[in-house]
Amino acid sequence: MKEFAIATYGLTKRFEGYIAVNEIDLQVKAGEVYGLIGPNGAGKTTLIRMLATAEEPTKGEIYLHGDRLLRDDSNHLLKQRIGYLPDDFPLYDDLTVWDYLDYFARLYRLKQPKRHLRIHEVLELVQLENKRKSLIATLSRGMKQRLSLARTIIHEPILLLLDEPVSGLDPLARQQFRQIIKVLQEAGMTILISSHVLSDLAELCTSVGIMELGFLVESTSLTDLYQRLSSQQLTLSTLGKMEILQQQLSQNSLVKTWEIIADNRLKIDFRGGASDCAELLRSLVLADIPLTEFHHSQEDLESIFLKLGHQQTS
C-alpha cells in the first residue's frame, strides 16, 4: 500500500438524492501526474475534496502513502503533505501577496529563516516577485490563481490536488501554469489534477482516470490509453497527381482509410508502428512521388474521451 501516494477503498459520498462518488478504488503511484477527466457533475470535485479532507466521506477509506487519512485534529503530519487548490480560491483581499503567503507559511509551521526563503522561492516560481507588496485585491485573475498555487505549495507538499486550476485563464496564463506544474513534477511531487482542458492534461499527465456517474470508469497510464484507444494519423501533401499517391497507398495493408483534406493533401488512418511509418515513407519516395509533407500525429485525448462516450453526470 505504501507504494501508492493515494489509495482509496470503496470511497463513497452521497448528497441528498444522489451518489456523487460511488465505491471508488483509486490508486495513484508516487511521482505521477494523474489527470481526472469527466463531464461536469461526474464527481471529480467531490472526490478531490474528500482527498483533501474538505469533505467527509459517507463510506470508505483513504490512505496517503500508506497512512489512513481522517478528518479531525489527528492528522497534522498528513495535512502537512497535502496541497489543495480548489476551483474557487477565496483570498484575503486586505492582505498583500507577501503577508498572505507568510500567514499560510506560519499555518504550515515553517520557521525562520526557512520561511522567508521559501516565500521567495514560490514567488519566483509563480512569477509574482514584483507583486509581493501589492494588495491581493489589485491582482488579475491569472495572478490570483498563481498566488493560490503558491499558497498550495508553500509548505512543500508531496501530494498536490488541483481542481480545475486553469479554468477561466487566458492562453498565456495557462501556458505559465503548465510550466509551473512541470517544474513541480520534476521536483518529485505527486499531482492529481482535474481539468476540462484535455490538451493540457495530455501534455502534463502520466496517467488518467475518467469519471462518469460517480464511478471511476477508467484509470490507466496515458501510454496504455493511447495504445488501446488512439488511432495514428498521417498527413501527406504531394506536388504530383493525387491518383498516383492514392494508388500507392492502397497497396499498403496498414493504411485503412484516407480523407482528402485539400487539393493535394490527405489524411490517412494508419495502424502501424514507427518503423512501419518509416517504411511507408521510403516506399512513397521510391515510387517517385514528390512529397512535400509527411506528418505523423496521434488521435488526441479529447477525441478518445468523446469516442468513449463517458459523458453522463451522477
Which lies closer to another protein via its Cβ, residue 65 or residue 151? 151
Task: Take residue 241 and report the three cell numbers written for it.
Answer: 497527381
Which lies closer to another protein via its Cβ, residue 10 or residue 66? 10
Which lies closer to another protein via its Cβ, residue 151 or residue 310? 151
Give me the half-sphere count of Cα atoms (radius 13 Å) on the Cβ side of residue 138: 9
Which lies closer to another protein via its Cβ, residue 28 or residue 85? 85
Give the whole-angstrom CA distance, residue 209 versus residue 217. Answer: 7
Give the whole-angstrom CA distance, residue 286 versus residue 284. Answer: 5
Task: Specify the amino acid at residue 117.
Answer: L
Q: How many CB atoms neighbour CB 20 within 10 A?
A: 24
Q: Which residues of the shown chain bind another protein in the complex (CB under 8 A)?
A: 12, 14-16, 19, 52-54, 56, 58-59, 71-73, 75-77, 79-80, 82, 84, 88, 90-92, 94-95, 99, 103-104, 106-109, 111-112, 151
Cβ of residue 138: shortest distance to another protein, in angstroms? 15
Q: How many CB atoms neighbour CB 212 within 10 A?
A: 21
Give the whole-angstrom CA distance, residue 245 versus residue 73. Answer: 70
Cβ of residue 5: shortest distance to another protein, in angstroms? 18
Taking CA atoms, 286 is separated from 56, 239, 251, in Å, by: 66, 15, 14
Which lies closer to another protein via its Cβ, residue 106 or residue 271? 106
In the block, residue with C-alpha cell 476551483: 87
Which lies closer to another protein via its Cβ, residue 109 or residue 256? 109
Cβ of residue 270: shortest distance to another protein, in angstroms? 45
Q: Which of 141, 301, 300 is nearest to 210 (CA)?
A: 301
Cβ of residue 103: shortest distance to another protein, in angstroms? 5
Cβ of residue 156: shortest distance to another protein, in angstroms? 13
Cβ of residue 242: shortest distance to another protein, in angstroms? 57
